[in-house]
Amino acid sequence: MVSRIEHPAGGYKKIFETCEELNEPIPAVVVGVIPEWLSGSLLRLGPGLFEVGAEPFYHLFDGQALMHKFDLKNGHVTYYRKFVKTDAYVRAMTEKRVVITEFGTAAYPDPCKNIFSRFFTYFKGIEVTDNCLVNVYPVGEDFYACTETNYITKVDPDTLETLKRVDLCDYLSVNGVTAHPHIESDGTVYNIGNCFGKNMSLAYNIVKIPPTPKDKSDPIAKSKVLVQLPSSERFKPSYIHRLVTFLIVRAQFSKVIWISPTG
Quick: pLDDT tens for 24-39.
Answer: 999 999 999 999 999 9
Residues 15, 120: one domain?
yes
Q: Which phi and psi angles does 200 have, rounded to 5°? A: 60, 30
Q: Which of 94, 111, 127 is the last residue of a domain?
A: 127
Residues 117, 203: one domain?
no
Q: Which of 64, 97, 127 is the last residue of a domain?
A: 127
> Is the confidence at residue 124, as pLDDT, over 70?
no
Is residue 32 within 8 A of residue 63, CB to CB? The reply is no
Residues 111, 228: one domain?
no
Which residues, 6 or more positions from 4, have their beta carbon under 8 angstroms from its beta carbon?
Answer: 18, 51
User: Which helix (H) or strand (E) segment is 121 a member of?
Assistant: helix 115-124
Tell me 200's DSSP state.
G
> Is the confidence at residue 118, as pLDDT, over 80?
no
Residues 23, 113: one domain?
yes
Please give the single-letter amino acid code of residue 4: R
State residue 255's pLDDT score: 47
Q: Which of 98, 127, 156 is the last residue of a domain?
A: 127
- Residue 10 CA to residue 8 CA, distance in Å, equals 5
How many domains is the chain partitioned into structurally? Answer: 2
Residues 188, 262: one domain?
yes
For 211-221, how does the pLDDT look when each residue is reduced to its tens digit (9 = 90+)? 998 898 999 99
Residues 110, 175: one domain?
no
The structure's pTM equals: 0.85
In-domain check, residue 152? no
Residues 187, 89: one domain?
no
Residues 179, 123: one domain?
no
State residue 72's pLDDT score: 97
> Is the confidence at residue 12, as pLDDT, over 90?
no
Residues 115, 197: one domain?
no
Residues 183, 115: one domain?
no
User: Which helix (H) or strand (E) segment is 124 a member of?
Assistant: helix 115-124
For 191-227, how does the pLDDT look when each residue is reduced to its tens digit (9 = 90+)? 999 999 877 789 999 999 999 988 989 999 999 999 9
State residue 139's pLDDT score: 97
In-domain check, residue 220? yes
State residue 111's pLDDT score: 64
In-domain check, residue 82? yes
For 84-114, how does the pLDDT look when each residue is reduced to its tens digit (9 = 90+)? 999 999 999 999 999 999 999 999 876 665 5
Task: Please give the average per-residue pLDDT across 125-136, as a whole number.
Answer: 91
User: Which helix (H) or strand (E) segment is 143 a member of?
Assistant: strand 142-146
In-domain check, residue 145? no
In-domain check, residue 74? yes
Residues 110, 222: one domain?
no
In-domain check, residue 231? yes
State residue 191's pLDDT score: 95
Which residues, 6 or more positions from 147, have their beta carbon under 8 angstroms from its beta carbon?
Answer: 65, 129, 130, 131, 132, 133, 134, 179
65 three-state secondary structure: strand
Is residue 219 within 8 A of residue 259, CB to CB? The reply is no
In-domain check, residue 153? no
CA 124 to chain centre: 23
Residues 7, 123: one domain?
yes
State residue 109's pLDDT score: 73
Pairing of strands 176-177, 142-146: unpaired
Q: Where are the beta strands (DSSP E) in 50-98?
A: 51-52, 55-56, 64-73, 76-83
- Residue 161 CA to residue 21 CA, distance in Å, equals 12
In-domain check, residue 159? no
The percentage of residues in the chain with a pLDDT greater than 90, rounded to a whole number, is 68
- Structural domain for 256, as ranges: 171-263
In sign, the C-alpha dihedral spanning 181, 182, 187, 190 is negative
